[in-house]
Amino acid sequence: MQQCTGATRREHPLYRALAEHDKRQRHPDTIEQAHTTFAADQANT
């Protein structure tokens, strides 16, 4: 089996999904605030 380099791994959709899930688990309040801010910005444009 071929080893993936760091750059290749970061581009892989599964790796990106796992990294996003990890961020949501670590910082749920920040993610919620970002969603709220984004929704408010979308409503104002």
pLDDT number for residue 37: 96
Task: Tell whether the torsion through CA atoms of 29, 31, 35 and 41 is positive or negative.
Answer: positive
pTM of the entire predicted model: 0.49
> 16 near 10, Cβ under 8 Å?
yes
pLDDT at 7: 63
Burial class of residue 38, CB neighbours in 10 A (0-12, 13-18, 19+)? exposed
Question: What pLDDT sits at residue 9?
Answer: 63
Contact 18, 10 (CB under 8 A): no
What pLDDT sits at residue 42?
Answer: 94
Q: Where are the domains of the chain?
A: 13-43
pLDDT tens digits along 1-45: 556 666 666 678 888 899 989 988 998 898 899 999 999 999 987
